[in-house]
């Protein structure tokens, strides 16, 4: 298989499904054991995670070493900065319900938010390959450009159900949602677009490829704004929420 980003070198590197830095931020460096160890859930199966570098939380090889390493490292760094900022400023972000990239990246915010967008674009591409889909060509071609047009739009929303959990429980709620392929109503071999999500604690990033974003889930962002305005959603129904509240009182 050829690397989906450069489309020239052999894919011999595995991208993390869940970022090592996200796991170590919440659980420490590991290895993990005992009651506070992270639990990994995939397709309904639960297993313990031994360490943040576990193969359980990596995709099959779909990138070359260069594209998964040095050339995309600034994107990973921008993401780490963003998530660290989110954890450190939780209270004020949740009160204001927006994020000013100047507060995250300083004077360099224009580049910072673009690199962050590229992190998410890489994450999205790896997920599509994992699902056996072809990554639309506008995605691999945006990584090394300062301005680009793409069908991938992102917005961010607060998961209100996770917010009712205490920090010690929600900080380790890290993962990725189900990806959905949107088929044409009249021609079910034709793909109209994709949607997906990933989350760290209450902050959920929603991905919309050629699908118009749900405005309830936040302002639309394509690496083109100093601010993101957070949307809001409640994935649990009333009964599930009541059960969660009862469980938290125990």
Residues near Zn ion (CB under 5 A): 3, 5-6, 9, 64, 67
Minimal distance, residue 66 CB to Zn ion, in Å: 6
Q: Which is nearer to Zn ion, 7 or 167 (CB)?
A: 7
Contact indicator for 5, 122 with CB cutoff of 8 Å: yes
Minimal distance, residue 52 CB to Zn ion, in Å: 24
Helices 73-88 and 20-27, packing angle to 10 deg: 30
Contact indicator for 93, 103 with CB cutoff of 8 Å: no
Q: Which is nearer to Zn ion, 9 or 97 (CB)?
A: 9
At a CB cut-off of 8 Å and minimum separation 6, what does 168 contact?
Answer: none
Minimal distance, residue 137 CB to Zn ion, in Å: 15
Minimal distance, residue 10 CB to Zn ion, in Å: 9
Q: Which is nearer to Zn ion, 3 or 104 (CB)?
A: 3
Q: Coil, strand or helix: which one is 175? A: strand
DSSP state of 227: E
d(CA 138, CA 143): 10
d(CA 221, CA 216): 14
Q: Which is nearer to Zn ion, 2 or 167 (CB)?
A: 2
How far the first Cα of the chain sits from its last, in Å, is 50
* Cα dihedral sign, 155-223-60-31: negative
Q: Which is nearer to Zn ion, 64 or 205 (CB)?
A: 64
Minimal distance, residue 138 CB to Zn ion, in Å: 17
Q: Coil, strand or helix: which one is 46? A: strand
Q: Which is nearer to Zn ion, 13 or 113 (CB)?
A: 13
Minimal distance, residue 121 CB to Zn ion, in Å: 14
């Amino acid at each position: 298989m050829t690397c989906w980003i450069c489309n020239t070198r052999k894919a011999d590197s595995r991208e993390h499904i869940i970022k090592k830095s996200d796991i170590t931020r919440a659980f420490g460096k590991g290895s993990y054991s005992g009651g506070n160890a992270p639990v990994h859930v995939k397709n309904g199966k639960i297993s313990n995670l031994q360490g943040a570098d576990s193969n359980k939380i990596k995709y099959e090889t779909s990138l070359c070493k260069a594209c998964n390493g040095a050339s995309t490292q600034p994107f990973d760094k921008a993401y780490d900065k963003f998530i660290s900022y989110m954890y450190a400023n939780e209270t004020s972000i949740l009160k204001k319900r927006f994020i000013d990239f100047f507060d995250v990246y300083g004077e360099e915010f224009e580049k910072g938010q673009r690199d962050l967008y590229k992190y998410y674009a890489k994450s999205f591409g790896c997920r599509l390959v994992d699902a056996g889909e072809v990554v639309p060509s506008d995605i691999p071609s945006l990584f090394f450009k300062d301005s680009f047009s793409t069908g991938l739009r992102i917005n961010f929303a607060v998961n209100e159900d996770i917010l009712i959990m205490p920090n010690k429980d929600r900080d380790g709620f890290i993962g990725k949602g189900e990806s959905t392929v949107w088929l044409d109503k009249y021609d079910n071999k034709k793909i109209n677009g994709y949607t997906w999500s990933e989350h760290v604690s209450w902050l959920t990033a929603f991905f919309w490829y050629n699908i118009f974003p749900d405005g309830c889930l936040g302002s639309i962002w394509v690496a083109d704004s100093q601010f993101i305005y957070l949307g809001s959603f409640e994935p649990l129904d009333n009964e599930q929420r009541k059960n969660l509240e009862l469980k938290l009182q125990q």
